[in-house]
A and B are shown apart, each in its own frame.
Chain A
């Protein structure tokens, strides 16, 4: 059961909720960024591998 006035945060809602939101978005960005970094790295490695193969043939 959420206490009464929870969303209002005692009148500080416009400071508390954006802080929580920004911090959580930083967490999400970190995961997204790490996944993107891995995916791009795999693409680069595979491309290098293909180039090496084509040079061999």
Chain B
């Protein structure tokens, strides 16, 4: 886990320095485009966290593997925080480019719905006195809400959108030159390693909490 943090810090550090200092300004957006180096990784993690949460919930519900509930519970607050980051940084990027902080655009609206889904999953888990029922209900909501993930991703293709289309995750060649693309890829990888490290920390806490009556936990805490 510490190595995940070290790799994440290295990649995020490199991505920020290369992206903010050395990458050339965009020919249309100027230096405002540099917001992409935090906006795109945040948006990517908002979807990846949700997919992780829904998958873990499905594994727990279908195969009754309890650690799945712990992973789903751990991924939810991380994903919610990155969804908020994607919305805030996107809003700050939208103001100089579109002339407004917010528009009821398909991409923005579906991302906002994603944030509400995260809040719903987190709240539903805590709404039950019986933690097992809370786990099952929130896992079910997570799985049902997964339908929103492809909507967020493909909204820029399915509907007329202010939001630009994909620049990195496309079937053909990425639209960005290497000098802009490498720092972005470093940031994406760095955020993924960061997610892995924080998820491991949270899952460890969740397992300790759920298994606190177990002998191995008591022995581990006493040691």
Contact = CB atoms under 8 A, between A and B. Distances in A.
**Is this pair of chains taken from one and the same complex?**
yes
Interface of A: 2-3, 6, 9-12, 15-16, 18-20, 22-24, 26-27, 29-31, 33-35, 37-38, 41-42, 44-46, 48-49, 52
Contacts of B89: 19, 22-23
Given A19-B89, A23-B85, A38-B205, 13 more contacts: A10-B25, A12-B31, A18-B92, A19-B93, A20-B16, A24-B38, A26-B82, A26-B84, A34-B201, A41-B205, A44-B212, A45-B217, A46-B221
B222 interface: yes
A18 B84 CA distance: 14
B111 to A, nearest CB: 15
A16 B35 contact: yes
A38 B38 CA distance: 27
B127 interface: no
Would you call the interface of chain B mostly helix, strand, loop, or mixed? helix
B11 to A, nearest CB: 12
A15 B32 contact: yes
